[in-house]
Structure 1
Amino acid sequence: MLLEAMGSDIAGCKDAKDRTPLHAAAFSGHVDCVQLILSHDAPVDTVDQSGRSALMMAAEKGRVGALEVLLSSATLSQTDRDGNTALHLACSNAKEDCVMMILEKLSDTALINATNAALQTPLHLAARSGLKKAVQELLSRGANVQTVDENAPGLRPQAPC
């Protein structure tokens, strides 16, 4: 009711960490709330102080339903302050369902080999997290196995497998 009364004004409110109601709904996995907030023209790619969007939060926390809704309008190439995309976050947090869902929607294949600030690719993070299916899918989409992880000198994605 509050959203109905205040409209997009409340959808754009931010807390002390610059998180919006959309961030909160995505973080918690409240799909109905995500849909309702988006229906009131809430900006989907707004970021918090760490540079994370609602899509990134859903991917990081494994909120498949919220992620599915957000994937229809959010920017997949957006990065946080550490250079992580939603794909990086899903891989590093072992959220394989989210990884696979993001890969289904991914049209920019350059994101497969995108590195974060630590020079880690989604393949590095998926391998380290033990995500066999995700590793196979990343490889089938052209992930580079020769990229070296800055946090593990000499370690390549194929080593943990």
Structure 2
Amino acid sequence: MNNKQELFNQIRSGNLETVQKLLNNDPALLEVKDERGSTPLLLAAYYGHTDLVDFLLKKGAKVDALDGSGNTALMGVCFKGYTDIAQKLIDAGANVSQKNAMGATCLIYAVTFNRKDIAEMLLKHGADASVKDARGNTAMDLVKEQGTRKHGTGGTLKTILDVQNLEHCFDSNHIALGRPGKQ
């Protein structure tokens, strides 16, 4: 097994010590991609390994690296629900409004997968709620569309996510649209 394969296997297993050794011996592995286009940071975030995410960010991993589908590490944690990792990635400068190959954003994923805390975090950090995905839907459209659907918790997305908090993003004075103060 080569070092690249070993690195990705150790990341999947959450083995910080071995990942540290591999990257210390070969720093070029920091941005190497696996067969799906994932970098070590993307994979560590997707698997919810907070300690690995911390280490990789400190080593200088590119926070907005894209996988083969145009997804970022932040997009992955938005649908997986890792709020603490989402905050770390945002603090490291992740683009909260990045679009993937299907036009989806972190906010669209957070709303689709009922991640209220992450959706609120994204909005607080300026996520653009007006972005439309490949089907022409904004995050608000998805909230309304899913508002009557039942989810595993027995509630509805509309009750989980306060729609009013998302609707204010469409106000012309909201900073998420990049037009503060304009009427």
TM-score with structure 1 setting the length: 0.80
Deviation at 1:134, TM superposition (A): 4.0
Give the 5 Å matches for 1:59-138. 59-72=78-91, 73-106=93-126, 111-127=128-144, 128=146, 130-132=157-159, 133-138=161-166
**What amino acid sits opposite 1:126 in the alignment?**
V
- Greater relative contact order, per chain length (Cα 8 Å cut-off, separation 6+): 1
Q: What is the aligned-residue identity percentage?
A: 30
Q: Choose from 35, 38, 42 the match for 1:19.
A: 38
**What amino acid sits opposite 1:22 in the alignment?**
L
CA-to-aligned-CA distance 1:77-129 (integer Å, 9 cap, x gap): 210111011111111111111111111111x6xx1111111010111223316
- Counterpart residue number, 1:52: 71
**What amino acid sits opposite 1:14 in the alignment?**
K
Q: 1:103 to 1:51 in 2, by over 3 A?
A: same
CA distance in 2, matches of 1:143, 1:63: 29
- Counterpart residue number, 1:142: 170
Contact 2:129 2:139 in 1 (8 A): yes
Structure with higher Rg: it is: 2
Q: How many residues align?
A: 140
- Counterpart residue number, 1:149: none
CA distance in 2, matches of 1:56, 1:19: 12
Q: 1:24 to 1:131 in 2, by over 3 A?
A: farther
Contact 2:74 2:94 in 1 (8 A): yes
Deviating beyond 6 angstroms after TM superposition, the runs of 4 or more aligned structure 1 residues are none
CA distance in 1, matches of 2:134, 2:171: 18
Unaligned 5+ residue runs, structure 2?
Answer: 1-20, 148-156, 173-183
Deviation at 1:4, TM superposition (A): 2.7
**What amino acid sits opposite 2:73 in the alignment?**
A
- Counterpart residue number, 2:178: none
Unaligned 5+ residue runs, structure 1?
Answer: 145-161
CA distance in 1, matches of 2:132, 2:158: 18
Deviation at 1:61, TM superposition (A): 0.9
Q: 1:77 to 1:11 in 2, by over 3 A?
A: same
